[in-house]
Amino acid sequence: MTRIKEDIIREVMNQIKLDRKFAKQIVESILQIIKEALESGDEVMISGFGHFKVRHKNSRVGRNPKTKVSYEISERTVVTFYPSKVFRKELNSAKG
């Protein structure tokens, strides 16, 4: 199941017993803080959850596997997420 921002807002409303407007402000503020930090090149570490890191990828040659046609993939900046040991352990124990 994919969670969208509205689902997260609804969960915050229900768990903390807030009205929708205030819960939305909280979620939006947290996401904005994370985005601004990543845009400025900082890492975002959330204890017990993981950290987000900005990486630069150089341009490279790619190939369409169906047509075998080569093309250049432009350089870009990507955000990667690394789960914490605690979170990874929880994920793996939930599957077991």
Q: How many CB atoms are located within 10 Å of the residue 34 CB?
A: 15
Q: Name the residue type at position 59.
A: S
- pLDDT in single tens digits along all 96 residues of the chain: 788 999 999 999 999 999 999 999 999 999 999 999 999 999 999 999 999 999 999 999 999 999 999 999 999 999 999 999 999 999 998 765
Residue 95 confidence (pLDDT): 67
The domain 44-96 is classified under which CATH number: 4.10.520.10, 3.90.190.20, 3.40.50.300, 3.40.50.1110? 4.10.520.10
Orientation of helix 5-16 relative to helix 20-39, angle to 10°: 130
Residue 96 confidence (pLDDT): 58
Q: Distance between CA 85 and CA 83 in Å, rounded?
A: 7
Per-domain boundaries in the chain: 1-42, 44-96
